[in-house]
Structure 1
Amino acid sequence: MSAITVGSLVVHRNLPLLGFGKVFCIGYMYALVGFIDASGRREVKRLGKTFIEPASDLSALGQFDGWRIETTSDCHPVAPSATSGTGKSRKAVGPAAWTLNQAYERFVAHYPDGMSGAQYQNAERTWKANQRELWAQQFPPGHLRALAADDPLAAGALVMKVVQTKEVALLARKGELPVLNWALTKGSPAPFLLALADVVEQAEPTRATFEALAEALESLPTLNPGTRVLSWPTLTVVPFLVRPDVHMFLKPKPTQETARQLGVDLFYNARPSWDTYQRLLTWSQGLLDFLKPHGARDMVDVQSFIWTVSGPVP
């Protein structure tokens, strides 16, 4: 059997009615395929590589002449007129409005004693450290995987104990939080929990585990059909709380605002992608290096800095 590459003519192993497909992108785990069925209807699907196989009849390849699909590096289609995920053209990021020192001045306007002060520690670090300790107590090494297999709803409930806090909510209480809570405590969370274990147990983030986690999160059943559970906050909140040494939390508005003011282009798209997350991690590491002399220890401090300076100065 010949290898499948970009441009290959393929068929779906389980859905022959999709017709022939042409591969427009192929990555580590997924492929983006444009299908044309017998009636001429076109459909684009991003699916696991195991679901496609080379077509035995190559005569249909001519049907795809002139069909072009722009893709991200992780094989998501990019709309011809938009890359923002909102239907609007993505605006290029202009020159920086702030220097890093000016951004830090905005930070100390909120926390005059800096990151070592009690005001900052109580507002930003302590409760997140408590949630990380709670995770360690609930999930000693190997326990998340075992519980996900034996009693996934119980495992999901324990994960939500880490996410749900009485302090500042990282997830929107009227949207993201209840949707994720239902999916993990009432749905079928086992695949997501196993993908989550892969992410938090790795020494550092990788494309493969990030994309697998996003795919598992998007596949979670929800209480109301059409409700979207996959978002940047729901995808990044647990890895960030559990492993702030290497993972970062992305809340769209404050993150985009601070990045814009500092002249950083994250190539943000509302749909999570490895490209944007990798840019976020690179930028965050640079901020951490800058903030370490001011008392920063990990991505908790970077996230707090990004959120704080994105708002008005008191």
Structure 2
Amino acid sequence: MGNYAAKDGKFFGLADGKIFAEGNDPDQVWQQLHDEAGKSDPRYFGYAGARSRFLKFFPNGFHSDGYANQERNYKLAAKRKLDDTAPLEKVLTGSGFGEAVLSVFRATNMLSPFEKTKLQDVFRGADADAVIQAAATFAKHGDKTSLGRLEAKLKPYDCAKWTVATYLPYLWQPERHMFLKPEVTKDYAARVGHPFASIYEAKLNFDVYAQLLDLVEKTNRELSDLKPLDRIDIQSFIWVVGDYREDREEVYI
């Protein structure tokens, strides 16, 4: 990736012996260095390229009827189902929500069939209430401690995965949390030159989640004129940019 050096109170970001960034704040210099290095990835086309790719499939952006039908409505339906059957404030301290939560996981195709099958043991087992409460606590606080607690509850079932850990918080609070589908998100990050592509790891590391949220915020700013409503729109944008193939024939007005 590169490194940085200090001289006379100033910081310099270096890669391959060349200066790519400089300034008085080491964190800003490091961020600039990440951004510049990301542009060297052969997949890079920046946020403008991501926007162009998305609009190729949905010319009216987030207001396309086709976008709503293909990408948004089923996620909203899953959210409504979760809010109706296992609302956040009740599950924080309540019990007996295992079947309701399992049904919400099954309501979308955002997790693989294999992952959904493994979740049966989680939400029909003795630890169901503890797992759901841990997920709700992470949704509520969104910090390192609550993510660690959730990881500890999921690990015995081999379900300490980003897809599982972020699914419920994302549906409970799509204005705050983000669902992480690792491969497509890493690909998207590489395409726009964001450091998430290099910092990602499969372990539920809070630094990874923080970088994901930074990627989301930057994407949201870049798309402000398209008026995304929440992170359901941002996650859908990332999915379309990273997963839809160039030879896909459908264009959704």
TM class by shorter-chain length?
0.7 to 0.9
SS in 1 for 2:94: helix
Partner of 2:33: none
Aligned pair partner of 1:107 in 24, 30, 54? 54
Match of 2:128 in 1: 189
Q: Which of residues 226, 229, 232 is equivalent to 1:294?
A: 226
Structure 1 segments unaligned to the other structure (5+ residues)? 1-91, 223-227
Question: 2: distance between equivalents of 1:199 and 1:128?
Answer: 20
After TM superposition, the runs of 4+ consecutive aligned structure 1 residues lying more than 6 A away are none
Q: Deviations over 1:172-226 (max 9, x none)?
A: 01x2111112211234222212212212234xx222212221222213xx4xxxx
Question: RMSD in angstroms over aligned alpha carbons?
Answer: 1.9
Q: Where does 1:1-314 land on structure 2 (aligned, <5 Å)?
A: 93=38, 95=40, 97-140=44-87, 142-148=89-95, 151=96, 155-165=97-107, 167=108, 169-173=109-113, 175-202=114-141, 205-219=142-156, 222=157, 228-266=158-196, 267-311=199-243, 312-313=245-246, 314=248
> What per-residue deviation string (whole Å, max 9, x for no partner) do you get for residues 55-81 of structure 1?
xxxxxxxxxxxxxxxxxxxxxxxxxxx
Aligned residues: 206
1:211-254 deviations in whole A, cap 9, x for unaligned?
221222213xx4xxxxx211111111111122111111111110
**Structure index of larger Rg:** 1
Please list every run of 5 or more consecutive structure 2 residues that lacks an aligned counterpart in the other structure. 1-36, 249-253
- Aligned residue number for residue 28 of structure 2: none
Flag the 1:216–1:141 CA change in 2: closer, same or farther, 3 A: closer
For 1:111 and 1:199, the matched residues in 2 are separated by 33
Higher helix share: 2
TM-score (norm 1): 0.61
Please tell me whether the aligned partners of residues 220 and 234 of structure 2 are also in contact (alpha carbons under 8 angstroms).
yes
Distance 2:181 2:124 in 1: 23
Quote how far apart the aligned CAs of 1:268 are. 0.7
Amino acid of the structure 2 residue aligned with 1:288: N
